[in-house]
Amino acid sequence: MPRQTVLVIDDEENMRHMLKTMLEKTNYSVQCAGDGIEALQCMAETGFDYILCDIKMPNMDGMAFLEKAVKRHPEKTYIMMSAYGTVKTALEAIKKGAYDYISKPFKPDEVFLTLRKAEERERLKKENLRLKTRINEIEKQHSFGNIIARSEAMAQVLELVKKVAEHKTTVLITGESGTGKELIARAIHSNGPRSSEALVNINCGGIPENLIESELFGYKKGAFTDAVKDKPGRFEEADKGTIFLDEIGELPFSLQVKLLRVLQEEEITPLGGVGSRKIDVRVVVATSKDLRKEVEEGRFREDLYYRINVLTVHLPPLRTRKGDVSLLTGYFIDIFNKKLNKKVEAPSSEAMSILIGYHWPGNVRELENVMERAVLLSTGRLITPKELPSSLTRNSGFPQDFDSLETLSIKKASKRLQRNLIEKALKATSGNRTQSAKLLEISRPMLISKIKEYGL
């Protein structure tokens, strides 16, 4: 390991010699300077880990040196020394960028202790930087925009999103309710060339049928009774940007042909208007319905279906990507700790087993709601099965299974519960014994032994 380097700055030769001899005995590499001007020259030529500087010196005193040195080398560690020091002087030095202050005369142990503290501070700074770098790497691997995932299925989705974001191609996002279709739309917009322009969201199923045309395309004054002035539609608001049409399958059949024309001609006609207006809009649509089935049953226009289905991004349900459950759980715990001013660390192994084994019909949105409830109700550092909704724990074996045991034998009941837990852990990890052992908080050999014992 290379020796730590120290620059000693003092106008007294005896003090420089004493500090140099003392520090070199403890394996520091030491260089000396007689005043602030000489010290700045030394620092321009050589990098030092620590600077020990007297305050009262000729030519350029310690405070003047500190002010100039911190501007040029802010990352260095400065320790000031003085025989004329006061609390006021020490505070002034620290305000100017010094790490610490030593009053003369001092004992050797005081210098060594201060340097050791400075070394520990530097070590922690480097460790924090390393951890931040590692966290950023992990976030890059497991997130894209606000989408958190590590499963292979979602990795393929995110790779596709990165590719389509660069182009104006119409994108159809499919998937069950709660899988995060709006997040995908935002990621497509924010990672493409239109990110500085507007992203306009509209839920086609949330607007009454008699209002949706004017909402989409706008209207002219006098188009209907309450139209007292011109009003631009959402497509016009999204000009040069992106429009996200959520639940496109709910769009009334009568409006589907008008939307088709907008997509084909890239122009809109406001309600009550006589002329059309060109627009430049990137269109992203989403649905939880099976549009092909809707077409077959005559509820969705076939020509519009093919026009919006240029490129499909399908979001798999959460129940098929169990690996994302633990990642999302940690993500939501962090969010709700801040929101609710709590200090929950993680789910217990029992609670995590329940979360992984649950089928999540509401997908990520349901998991988010469950974690907000759990963090709110938690009274300790871990979330336990007690903080989870009964819909999750009802079929998990916690704790309702105890009520249905046909024996009062603790030994027999314990074996039954162990078998139940091992079965659930193996199911949750698709048979991965190493991961199952971690969930169960037992060793892998112990798990293998139990699997044989219970004939699993």
SS3 content of the chain, % helix, strand, coil (to 5): 50, 15, 35
* Closest by CA position to 329, among listed 298, 293, 353: 353
Higher pLDDT, 402 or 328: 328
pLDDT at 135 over 80: no
Each residue's pLDDT tens digit, 173-215: 999 999 999 999 999 999 999 999 999 999 998 888 888 888 9
Which ranges in the chain are annotated with CATH 1.10.10? 405-453
CATH number of 147-316: 3.40.50.300
The alpha carbon torsion through 149, 153, 158, 163 (nearest 10 deg) reads 170
Each residue's pLDDT tens digit, 391-404: 887 755 444 444 44
Using CA atoms, how far residue 248 sits from 219, 305, 315, in Å, is: 21, 10, 16
pLDDT at 144 over 90: no
Beta strands in 112-227 (DSSP E): 143-144, 147-148, 171-175, 199-203
* CB of 398 closer than 8 Å to CB of 212: no
* CB of 247 closer than 8 Å to CB of 285: no
Q: What mean pLDDT is predicted for residues 264-286?
A: 90
Write down the pLDDT at residue 133. 65
Question: Which phi and psi (to 5°) does residue 52 adopt?
Answer: -100, 115
Higher pLDDT, 407 or 414: 414
The structure's pTM equals: 0.57
End-to-end CA distance of the chain: 53
Each residue's pLDDT tens digit, 337-375: 999 999 999 998 888 889 988 999 999 999 999 999 999
Question: Which phi and psi (to 5°) does residue 177 adopt?
Answer: -60, 135
Which ranges in the chain are annotated with CATH 3.40.50.300? 147-316
pLDDT at 89 over 90: no
Each residue's pLDDT tens digit, 37-61: 999 999 999 889 999 999 989 889 8
Which ranges in the chain are annotated with CATH 3.40.50.2300? 5-130
Percent of the chain with pLDDT strictly greater than 70: 92
Tell which CATH architecture fits domain 320-393: Orthogonal Bundle (1.10)
| Cis amide linkage into residue 399, ω under 30° from 0 | yes
Write down the pLDDT at residue 282. 95
List, in order, residues 6 or more apart from 61 with CB less than 8 Å away: 36, 55
Write down the pLDDT at residue 404. 43
How many C-beta atoms lie closer than 10 Å to residue 388's C-beta?
23
CATH superfamily of 5-130: Response regulator (3.40.50.2300)
pLDDT at 291 over 90: yes
Which ranges in the chain are annotated with CATH 1.10.8.60? 320-393
Lowest mean per-residue pLDDT among 23-27, 33-37, 417-421: 417-421
The Cα diameter of the chain in Å comes to 98
Dihedral over Cα of 226, 231, 233, 234: its sign: negative
* CB of 303 closer than 8 Å to CB of 188: no
Tell which CATH architecture fits domain 405-453: Orthogonal Bundle (1.10)
| Paired sense of beta strands 277-278 and 267-268, if any | antiparallel
Lowest mean per-residue pLDDT among 109-113, 193-197, 276-280, 416-420: 416-420
Write down the pLDDT at residue 405. 46
Write down the pLDDT at residue 402. 44
* CB of 358 closer than 8 Å to CB of 370: no
User: Residue type at 316?
Assistant: P
pLDDT at 136 over 60: no
Beta strands in 299-447 (DSSP E): 311-315, 346-347, 382-383
Assign 109 a pLDDT band (cuts: 50, 70, 90).
Answer: confident
449-454 own/partner pairs: CB under 8 Å, 24+ apart: 450/418, 450/419, 450/422, 451/422, 451/426, 454/415, 454/418, 454/419, 454/422
Assign 427 a pLDDT band (cuts: 50, 70, 90).
Answer: confident
Q: Give me the residue label for tokens 């393929």.
A: 156
Mean of per-residue pLDDT scores for the chain: 86
Question: What is d(CA 282, CA 291) in angstroms, rounded to the nearest whole number?
Answer: 21
